[in-house]
């Protein structure tokens, strides 16, 4: 399935923020520009309304206002909109990544599991550990926020629960942590951060596109049905697939990692059919199978 995704940077290197309205106006103007490419999904940075301002979470009283803002622009541009803001529930306030659908309906939210120490001092409560990906028309979308990048087990849980891509709404870029997570879990990552480091990482750890001082937002069309396979016992399969499908598939090899990818290029070819036809096993399934046998042998000795 192909999906067109745009991600936004707050471009702090190039902007001066003096109030919440500055950030909201910036987002509105950027979304107007992004609308020219008609994206399916747009990602916004962590607590984007309050970014760059000395505002404590505990001092934000009306958190519904920002939900209404996100709902309104999602509906206006008929997009899936994902971004982090404060969400007050009873006596607690969370740093929540919200996903709205094309009609402006809230599909689901993810509460930051690992707020930083200063965040907790400012009133942000940690989210529950067991949070699931959010269902969309593109399949399940996972969520992670900023400091969460340092707990790879939580990313793995999202992938194991069926996430096809993960939105990373953040203040800091994450850097090579994101590349390694993408490679290990074969997951697409859409990073939206405060500075000019927003972008999209494919499911083998490569940046496809990034923001810079000439572009505060970027977009790309990605094929979610791109399979990642280990070469063990399968090194002859890419040539066989090529011989049958030719330019209808894209195959890339990664020698150092002993991996290869298969991406269908036409709508009449499905990855699941190729997997079945050539008896392929994905990289993640191969690792899980090996681990299962290793555990069994430990029990038997």
Choose one of 203, 223, 243: the last residue of a domain: 223
pLDDT > 80? residue 301: no
Containing domain of residue 10, as a range?
A: 2-223
**Within this chain, do residues 31 and 88 fall inside the same structural domain, yes or no?**
yes
The count of domains in the chain is: 2
Choose one of 223, 243, 263: the last residue of a domain: 223
Choose one of 223, 240, 260: the last residue of a domain: 223
**Within this chain, do residues 131 and 241 fall inside the same structural domain, yes or no?**
no
**Within this chain, do residues 208 and 241 fall inside the same structural domain, yes or no?**
no
**Within this chain, do residues 13 and 92 fall inside the same structural domain, yes or no?**
yes
Q: How many CA atoms lie within 13 A of 120 on its CB side?
A: 10
Mean pLDDT of all residues in 247-254: 96
User: Which pLDDT band holds residue 61 (cuts at 50, 70, 90)?
Assistant: confident
CA–CA dist 258, 299 (Å, integer): 29
Q: Look-up: residue for tokens 């096809």?
A: 164
**Within this chain, do residues 122 and 191 fall inside the same structural domain, yes or no?**
yes
**Within this chain, do residues 66 and 131 fall inside the same structural domain, yes or no?**
yes
**Within this chain, do residues 250 and 214 fall inside the same structural domain, yes or no?**
no
What is the per-residue pLDDT across 81-99, written as a single tens digit (0 to 9) for each?
999 999 999 989 999 999 9
What is the per-residue pLDDT across 153-181, written as a single tens digit (0 to 9) for each?
999 999 999 999 999 999 999 999 999 99
CA–CA dist 239, 83 (Å, integer): 42
How many Å separate Cα 293 from the centre of its chain?
32
What is the per-residue pLDDT across 137-150, written as a single tens digit (0 to 9) for each?
999 999 999 999 99
Mean pLDDT of all residues in 268-283: 96
Mean pLDDT of all residues in 252-269: 95
């Amino acid at each position: 399935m192909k999906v067109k995704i745009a991600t936004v940077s707050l471009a702090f290197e190039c902007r001066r923020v003096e109030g919440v309205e500055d950030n909201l106006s910036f987002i509105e103007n950027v979304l107007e520009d992004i609308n020219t490419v008609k994206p399916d999904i747009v990602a916004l940075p962590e607590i984007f309304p309050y970014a760059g301002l000395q505002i404590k979470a505990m001092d934000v009283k009306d958190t519904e206002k920002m939900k209404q803002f996100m709902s309104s622009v999602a509906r206006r541009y008929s997009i899936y909109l994902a971004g982090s803001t404060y969400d007050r529930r009873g006596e607690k306030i969370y740093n929540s990544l919200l996903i709205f659908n094309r009609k402006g309906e809230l599909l689901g939210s993810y509460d930051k599991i690992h707020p930083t120490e200063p965040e907790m001092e400012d009133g942000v409560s940690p989210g529950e550990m067991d949070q699931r990906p959010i269902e969309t028309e593109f399949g399940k979308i996972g969520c992670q926020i900023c400091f969460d990048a340092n707990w790879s087990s939580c990313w793995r849980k999202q992938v194991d629960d069926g996430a096809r891509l993960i939105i990373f709404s953040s203040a800091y870029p994450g850097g090579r942590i994101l590349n390694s997570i993408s490679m290990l879990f074969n997951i697409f990552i859409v990073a939206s951060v405060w500075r000019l480091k927003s972008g999209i990482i494919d499911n083998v750890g490569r940046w496809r596109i990034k923001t810079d001082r000439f572009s505060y937002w970027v977009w790309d069309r990605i094929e979610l049905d791109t399979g990642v396979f280990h070469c063990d016992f399968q090194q002859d399969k890419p040539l066989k697939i090529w011989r049958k499908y030719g330019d209808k598939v894209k195959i890339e090899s990664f020698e150092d990692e002993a991996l290869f990818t298969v991406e269908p290029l036409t709508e009449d070819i499905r990855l699941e059919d190729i997997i079945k036809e050539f008896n392929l096993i994905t990289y993640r399934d191969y690792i899980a199978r090996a681990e299962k046998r290793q555990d069994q042998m430990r029990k038997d000795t």
